[in-house]
Structure 1
Amino acid sequence: MAQFRMHNPTHRFDVECDMTDHDAATLTTQREFSDTVRGIAVRDGTMYCATGGWTDGGHLYALDRDGTLRWRFDSVAGLAHENGGWIDSSPAVSDETVYVASKDTHVYALERETCAKRWQYQTRGRIASSPAVADGTVYVGSDDAHVYALDATDGTQQWSVRTGNMVKSSPAIVDNTVYVVSDDDMLYALDSETGSERWSLAVGGGQSSPTVVDGTVYVCGYDPDDARSLESMSGALYAVDAVCGDLQWKFQAADIIVTSPSVVGDTVFVSDLSGFVYAVSAKTGTQQWRLSTGDTIVAPPLVRSGTVYIGSKGHGVYAVSADDGGLLWRLETDDAVATVAPGEGRLYVGSYGCRLSAIMATPSDE
């Protein structure tokens, strides 16, 4: 038995529960790779799995639901490239094309069924930003400090905008506006057609990608008002008006937040590096509950049908009630979890130990 402490504005209580409730869900290894599973996308029964590391460079795999290989794409430089050539982001999948970016400085467009290369575009820096596709355009950030807009059909550059530092955040595109965070600690709102800046706001940190819901941009980072050193300063969740860039509220977390927020209904779910998971009111920024896992968390919370799923570096996947933060179950994994993704009645878990696994949840979790 393990003890968790949760907090909300009205009362505190401890919850004791079975940490390995295997009656609730089962974990099955789908496939093993040579490097870390960095990103997963699922569409029409096919898993697109990006891997990368110093062992074998960068690859994108197309797999059937049972893990059977359909095809494999190798980044152009692989280990021969000075940056390792690995893929450190998630692919974007459209009707006929898979878009993926690599630390070999390229963005690739691949035919979904055959993996034939439609086009490639080279930036001047490594890419850890996941591409986003909207209205025939691919948007992506690069370590060369630029945000790029590329024609989705042929890869022609439509525009690029320079920020003050590397762009590892993945863009969000809503209402003809591109929202993206740079390592210069600024959140930018750019015109999606021209790249012209609509507004910018200091938010601290550049690894979290923004989430835009109902006219509000939610983004995480560290708290620049915290006077402590970067190693000990707290994290922050910001709510920003999507049109004018005004700060609506700021929520302070116990530690730096590197994951992206998940917004469902009137609640924002985030997690920090100290292992806390938070539910925060989307309207006011008031904490609704907090759960301490005791594990480092780098994968964004995934919310489905009233359950929050969290993958941790402590070799576990947690299922938590979205209503009150109560722990429903925890599954042990063989390795630290790098990413968790939804997929047609399953959860897919990518690990630093080079495994892709599937969680088969009970009907109540689906």
Structure 2
Amino acid sequence: MTSWNQHKGDARNGGVRRDLEGPLRVKQSWTVDLTGSVGTPVLDRDTVYVGTGRGNCYALERETGRRRWVFETMNATSTTPVVTRTRVYVGTEEGTIYALDPATGDQQWATELPGSLSSSLTVADGRLYAGHTAGVSAIALEDGTGSPLETESADDGAVDDGDVVWTYETDAPAVGCPAVDDGENGGGDGERRFGERETEPDPHSNVDGNLETSFDTDFDHDTTHDDGQPVVFVGTEDETVLALAGATGEEEWTAPADGAVAGGPTVADGLVYVPDQGGTLLAMGVDSGQSWFSYDIRDGFVGSATVLPDDDTTFVGAEDGYLHVTDTSFGRRKLRGWLFAKKGVQLDGPLRGSPVVVGDVVCVGDATGSLYGLDVADDCTHLWHYGTDAAITGTPAVGDRQLFVGNEDGVFHCLTWRSDGRRP
């Protein structure tokens, strides 16, 4: 199984592969024309899976781009699919989840959600989590051996593969992609829990790209999650962040955002990072929702944050054309200019999708159709630029010396690079 089987590579929406050698230069390996704007791809062994805005899910050979199969629906399938050992899970805009055979694309089952699908899918601990216009649902998955499921529904009844286990109803659609924390180490690359961080929040506050830290955020919580018990984090269009018990769907806490959540939460090092369309990046404790810091800009954020706890760095894109770079302790600007701190790296247009990190290179696309590689180890200086003819759509998927990304004109690109360690 590859390490990029769902949106941003894992259930926490991490978007990080530091174990791979990053692309210091890239070249085009292949392109294929698909039907409809291209969504965010996922990888499994020698196959890449991707959905489109015209209702098709494609399975393509990673090395050549040759089509292995296509699964056609009548509704858009541009949300990110999920692949496991035995299934590919695809959601449609109308709210149907399909389970497909990864080798053939044959349908195994279909499940209807209580509302139209409004988020990408996340798999963790034997369940599939999906956000929709009526709330959030958990779907039971078989264990891959054909053994009966031991999971029970919220109504204490036995469930089968593909059954909805629970649904948490919301007043507004869930958006982005759910993030799941298993409670083992708080996510990300670090081992520190929220209560064990080496620094304390700064009580000072500033605006427009500087920090604002608060201890009196208006949040509600009934319980804290115990180690080993998964918690699902979801954002909504009505400016709310939810923490739900993965086993039961019960609410653990809620916290307000300053706008509709953009891209979904990211869990790393005991914190959950939530950018919103109002221009605020929130960092909150996973156990309580208590605010650690907020970072504010004038334009809205796009996509989810990508966090490097060991480097004390957070990346998040925005409509202002910047990839914003902050520290993870106080939300301060990380990059330095001649006279003052820079809010980030300016690109050619508004950012699209979420940034991903491969080795020491952060990769991100924008609305002009460009994909960029920036050097994390050298103050995020530009390493390379790859142009397409239409806006980048979705978040790149990362493999060993491979990068996959699509655009709104339906062209799917595979980029490769040499493993020789030579910088331009």
TM-score by length of 2: 0.73
Amino acid aligned to 1:157: V
Partner of 1:140: 130
2:92 alignment partner, one of 102, 121, 128:
102
Separation of aligned partners in 2, 1:353 and 1:207: 23
Residue ranges of structure 1 left out of the alignment (5+ in a row): 1-21, 79-84, 224-234
Aligned structure 1 segments of 4 or more residues deviating by more than 6 angstroms = none
TM-align CA RMSD: 1.8
SS at match of 1:282: coil
The C-alpha deviation readout for 1:58-92, integer Å capped at 9, x for no partner, is 011111021111111112xx1xxxxxx11121111
Q: What secondary structure, in the 3-state scheme, does the structure 1 residue paired with 2:180 have? A: strand
Q: Which of residues 341, 347, 351 is equivalent to 2:407? A: 351
Of 82, 87, 104, 1:114 maps to: 104
Q: Are 2:171 and 1:164 aligned? A: yes
Structure with bigger strand share is 1
The answer to whether the aligner puts 1:69 opposite 2:85 as a matched pair is no
In 1, Cα distance between the equivalents of 2:254 and 2:401?
A: 39
Q: Which amino acid aligns with 2:162?
A: G
Which residue identity lines up with residue 60 of structure 1 in the other structure?
C
Contact kept? 2:24, 2:417, Cα under 8 Å: no
* Match of residue 60, structure 1, among 32, 57, 60: 57
**C-alpha displacement at 1:127, in angstroms?**
1.2
Counterpart position of 2:45: 44
Asked whether the equivalents of residues 348 and 357 of structure 1 are also in contact (C-alpha less than 8 Å), the reply is: yes
Q: Could you tell me which runs of 5 or more consecutive residues in structure 2 were left unpaired when the two chains were aligned.
A: 1-22, 143-160, 183-229, 336-343
1:334 matched residue in structure 2? 389
Choose the corresponding residue for 1:269, options 298, 315, 339. Answer: 315
1:219-269 CA-to-partner distances (Å, cap 9, x unmatched) read: 10034xxxxxxxxxxx11110000011010001134101211111232111
CA distance in 2, matches of 1:249, 1:116: 47
| 3-state SS, counterpart of residue 56 of structure 2 | strand
Instruction: Measure how far apart 1:150 and its partner are.
Output: 0.8
Aligned residues: 321
CA contact (8 A) 2:301 2:319 kept: yes
Give, in whole Å, the separation in 1 of the partners of 2:397 and 2:406. 8
* Distance in 2 between residues matched to 1:206 and 1:171, nearest whole Å: 11
CA contact (8 A) 1:307 1:321 kept: yes
Partner AA of 2:232 in structure 1: V
TM-score (norm 1): 0.84
Q: Amino acid of the residue matched to residue 283 of structure 1?
A: S
Q: Map of 1:1-366 to 2, 5 A cutoff?
A: 24-52=25-53, 57-65=54-62, 66-75=64-73, 78=74, 85-143=75-133, 145-153=134-142, 154-175=161-182, 176-203=230-257, 204-223=259-278, 235-264=279-308, 265=310, 266-289=312-335, 290-323=344-377, 324-339=379-394, 340-363=396-419, 364=421
Deviations 1:144-186 (A, max 9, x none): x210011113111110001120112211111210101011110
SS at match of 1:334: coil
Asked whether the equivalents of residues 95 and 116 of structure 2 are also in contact (C-alpha less than 8 Å), the reply is yes
2:366 and 2:103 map into 1 onto residues whose CA distance is 33
1:128 match: secondary structure: strand
